[in-house]
Structure 1
């Protein structure tokens, strides 16, 4: 199954730091036309698309967050250099000399700068550069910067999606690849004329990177009986890694989450997802993520009595760095797995 790389590129390249998801939301809303029976947007900015199922007795919900890690402008100094705070988790060592877009009155290209190693004192060279030591250089004087940029404007990473071997490489695959998977799941249902087993709510959520905030609200609104989180997960299958560290590996298929730091997936859902993968001949691998949480936790807990929840995870290298990498066959497997899981839920065994 080939994936629509141009669509994935447009989704990844759209800006959308937590709380600033306007542009990616516009793209999602445009792509949803004709794919759902009803589309709504709540006060936080979550987009929820309803695809009616064969039965309305229960509700199924899948959540993919639209936001990406970014920054917010906190100060513009007398030289026009921009200081910022992170919005979401960053590894500071990945920021040096990276291009960014500052989203002011218009988008302004900038570069992350810090003190050059040539003029560091010997004792400075061995120390980790902290985020507070970075600034954004736009190449403009302060007077020109002030005309376009203000404190409170958002900043996002700047890169184009590239195909690299069997993989795709871009900023914001966390979590735009899951936005893509959710859209393509709805598209697959339309093409195959398969209906979900139960009414299916596809939620494109906001502010996940700062605490699963949008998913809390969306789950409270929908009150699903079954939940599927959609997010990237660590693929530490690179040189120097040990087998016990790898979590997942690229090219080994869709990952079925067992647990992360925010959720222990329901054992009934895990068994069901494994059976669906086997029945549909979908390549899969187990995932245990020691640190990091996903919208899965909100789907499971923000419902009276809880929901039966699990997650489809997309193995990804270099997560929360300036560029990230996923395997095209793994992405295709995730689309197949989610589609099958949503459409076959009435075949599951859900008794405790």
Structure 2
């Protein structure tokens, strides 16, 4: 059982850039960690990192796929103007009001720190003051002469966010915890495991934030019998939200997904994960997410005969904002539930109706 968060490893995972379609740096960092923990690993054509741990009691060749996406929301440079300011497009979903003055890293010929700029309030009309700044009104200021910017940066270069990871009370707070906290959890699961009954495919997927693209390819290639996605979910346990809209709550444990806008989770997987959590006294709660989806959908649908699929979700505040927040105890619960579930998956009666 995981009892302590490895803050240094998590910080490294969170800090390593990897926006959708450009995950090479974070993939290479993950490979450093998992190499001694698995029997084999490979990268498919779209960029998913697929690791394999062979089962010890598997005459029928059963496969279990567990996936966490390694991409983070970010941007791509679309234009460099004559003053050296950068315009950009989003890679993934952003709430525009949260990015004012946010520090970013532009990955040009070298990494350059910049600031998300927009018109200051002193220069805004009354109408402009009364509305939220639109995403296309922002620009990136690198603090360099235009000639130097144009030498170092071109359209197509990617942009990631720059934030420090820190503890705030019992909470981990930083950027890109969606979904790097689950990448961390998947690595910790591999460290905790001794033997698995069925062949385990621990997959670090790409391009989830732009449409679950990596999970579709990985599930089609692996063709799992069982699937568990790891992702974050909304914790609306904040002022101004009624109890029926909370989805999940911080500190109440890992969430067993029942539903999101892309998936009706398999009732057998829901029952299995819930039973395992209760039997092993692992803190848990349920999740019904009205809007938003995860890699669960890709795993469930893209296996050649479909997969018995579900998800373990991590409650999060301030999702897709400048900094995101998760409870350290929920992270431990996710790792412990996942490890126990993968270890005992052959003990459940999956044929029951």
Aligned to 2:110: 106
Given candidates 49, 52, 55, the residue that maps to 1:53 is: 55
Aligned to 2:317: 317
Total equivalences in the alignment: 348
RMSD in angstroms over aligned alpha carbons?
A: 0.8
Separation in 2 of the partners of 1:101 and 1:296? 31
Aligned to 1:33: 35
Superposed CA deviations along residues 65-112 of structure 1, whole A, max 9, x for unmatched, are: 000000000001110000000010000000101000000111000000
Q: CA deviation at 1:116?
A: 0.8
Q: For structure 2, list consecutive stretches of 5 or more residues without a partner in the other structure.
A: none
SS in 2 for 1:306: coil
Matching of residue 126 in structure 1 with residue 169 in structure 2: no
Separation in 1 of the partners of 2:329 and 2:294? 22
TM-score (normalised: structure 1): 0.98
SS in 1 for 2:113: strand
Superposed CA deviations along residues 28-51 of structure 1, whole A, max 9, x for unmatched, are: 010112100011111111101101
Q: CA deviation at 1:232?
A: 0.5
Aligned to 1:157: 161
Q: CA deviation at 1:305?
A: 2.3
Q: For structure 1, list consecutive stretches of 5 or more residues without a partner in the other structure.
A: none
Structure 1 residues 236-245 or 66-75, which shifts more? 236-245
Given candidates 21, 24, 30, the residue that maps to 2:23 is: 21
Aligned to 2:7: 5
SS in 1 for 2:147: helix
Superposed CA deviations along residues 284-320 of structure 1, whole A, max 9, x for unmatched, are: 0100111111001011000122110010111111010
Pairing 1:1-352 to 2, within 5 Å after superposition = 1-56=3-58, 57=60, 58-189=62-193, 193=194, 195-351=195-351, 352=353
Q: CA deviation at 1:127?
A: 1.3
Q: CA deviation at 1:348?
A: 1.3
Q: CA deviation at 1:350?
A: 1.3
Separation in 1 of the partners of 2:168 and 2:275? 32
Structure 1 residues 233-242 or 129-138, which shifts more? 233-242
Q: CA deviation at 1:55?
A: 2.6
Q: CA deviation at 1:22?
A: 1.1
Q: CA deviation at 1:123?
A: 1.4
Separation in 2 of the partners of 1:245 and 1:106? 44
Q: CA deviation at 1:54?
A: 2.0
Q: CA deviation at 1:20?
A: 0.8
SS in 2 for 1:9: helix
Q: CA deviation at 1:197?
A: 2.2
Separation in 1 of the partners of 2:129 and 2:97? 13
Report if aligned partners of 1:272, 1:349 keep a CA contact under 8 Å in 2. Answer: no
Separation in 1 of the partners of 2:170 and 2:83? 44
